[in-house]
Structure 1
Amino acid sequence: MKRKIIIILSVLFIIFMAALFIFYLIKGDSTRWQVALGGIFASALPLLLLRMKHNPFNIPIIINYFLFLFCSLFLGSISSFYLHYKWWDSTLHFYKGLFVGSVAISLYKHFIPEKVRNDVSAWILFLFVLSLSVFASVIWEAYEFIGDLTVTKTMQRGGNKDTMYDLLCGVAGGLIISIYSMIRKQKV
């Protein structure tokens, strides 16, 4: 079932982004066709999960990945939500913190054998989930900074204030999932 969902969502999103790529390439809109091209590659990434013997990510995480792509690439960049709605950027950074925290929990369950998990402190799990969320936020902000230096000047419209606000939103999302993981671990 998981295989089918990955294939269906990936193929649909690749077709969607390829159509946008062709449309904006013909139209001569270089910013949007570049985003659509990136969307083709980003939507193909989950297909790599099919090569794994045991995919650690459940169906909600896979669906949320495509939801994030749709909200950030299509709605945010191509449909200009980032420019028209100031809250859109911070909301996606908050969502990214929640999402990456959920990915961290899946990775923890995948790489730490079940019989060993009882010996792992709830605080270690808390720190792992929070660290991965914060790391993702820092990497994303570095990507925005490098993107503004090399390709566009629109990713960090607010400069340092935008960067810090985005980081705080990402950390807040990660903190919520970290606290949730710690509480769940303590109940076990």
Structure 2
Amino acid sequence: MKGKDRWNDLFEFAMYVLAVGCFVYFLVKGNGAKMFQAVLIVAVLQLIRLIVKWTKTTMFTSLRFCVLLFIFVTMFLANEFGYYGVIPYLDKIEHLFSGVILCFIGLLIYSKASNHQEGAEPPSPHVAVWLCLFFSIAMAGVWEIYEFATDHLFGLDSQNGSLLDTMTDIICGTIGAILTACYLALKARNRSLPLVDIK
């Protein structure tokens, strides 16, 4: 696992280097919006580190990789390099992937909460799977509420002014959550690893 985590460290370091390179490039080009995006990427990476340190939480290796990959796809490929117009349905792929990540975050929350209950019964794999699923689906809805609010308050166009776009995003997130919950359920049934220790 330490070897895999070193790969994550290298991946994260490469994103810092790429963000600095983008900042310098767009500084020369005089593109303030892209410069701000590069700064935002660094801020998000640092914020994740601060949250992990503040909550004294150890991320699953697979979860950390998924989060870093998600940041790379959404913030570098989609926004910084403008790949929304190049890769078909990139936005839907992002929402599908977010369902996977949020499911693992739900598992992390359940694992952390269970470990703090001294003298309590062992964590229930079935409860964990359902919590992961419902947490992920709920967060897909919360994200769309956020997009709706920012679109109306700040005149943005995140939802393309379309109920179809909103519902498709939620459906994609839900599909990602269901697939991940099925994977976790198989892991729980296998019992080769405790559910809360899935890597």
Tell me which interval the TM-score lies in, with the shorter structure as reference length: 0.7 to 0.9
Q: Give the structure 2 partner of residue 41 of structure 1.
A: 43
State whether residues 105 and 181 of structure 1, in contact with CA within 8 Å, keep that contact through their aligned partners in structure 2: no
1:56–1:110 Cα contact (<8 Å) kept: no
Output the CA distance in 1 between the equivalents of 2:138 and 2:36: 25
Alignment match, 2:121? 116
Note closer, same or farther for the CA distance 1:143–1:11 as it changes in structure 2 (3 Å cut). farther
1:150 CA drift (Å): 5.2
2:131 matches 1:139: no
1:126 matched to which residue of 2?
129
Q: What is the CA-CA distance between 1:128 and the residue it aligns to?
A: 0.9
For each residue in 1:109-136, what CA deviation from the matched residue of structure 2 results, as whole angstroms up to 9, or x when unmatched?
A: 2321397335x361x3233111221233
Q: Which amino acid aligns with 2:17?
A: I
Identity of aligned residues (%): 19
**1:29 and 1:136, CA in 2 relative to 1: closer, same or farther beyond 3 A?**
farther
Which TM-score applies when normalising by structure 2? Answer: 0.75
TM-score by length of 1: 0.79
Structure-2 change in CA distance of 1:26 and 1:116 (3 Å)? farther
Deviations 1:17-43 (CA, angstroms, capped at 9, x unpaired): 233234334433344233222211111
Amino acid at match of 1:137: A
The answer to whether structure 1 residue 185 and structure 2 residue 192 are counterparts is: no
- 2:5–2:61 contact (8 Å) kept in structure 1: no
Shift of 1:71: 0.4
Structure 1 distance, partners of 2:66, 2:125, is 28
Change over 3 Å in CA distance of 1:141–1:117 after alignment to 2: same
* Change over 3 Å in CA distance of 1:36–1:144 after alignment to 2: farther
Partner in structure 2 of residue 61 of structure 1 = 63
SS at match of 2:121: helix
Could you tell me whether the CA contact under 8 Å between 1:130 and 1:174 is conserved in 2?
yes
How many Å apart are 1:10 and its aligned residue? 4.0
Task: Give distance in 2, aligned partners of 1:36 and 1:154.
Answer: 21
Query: Structure 1 counterpart of 2:167, which letter?
Result: M
The whole-number CA distance in structure 1 between the counterparts of 2:164 and 2:32 is: 28
Shift of 1:141: 2.0
Gaps (5+ residues) in structure 1?
A: none
**Per-residue deviation, residues 43-67 of structure 1 (Å, max 9, x unmatched):** 1123225636853312221122111
Root-mean-square deviation (Å): 3.0
Count of residue pairs brought into register by the alignment = 186
The offset of 1:11, in angstroms, is 4.0
Secondary structure of 1:136 counterpart: helix
Mapped contact 1:97–1:170 kept (Cα < 8 A): yes
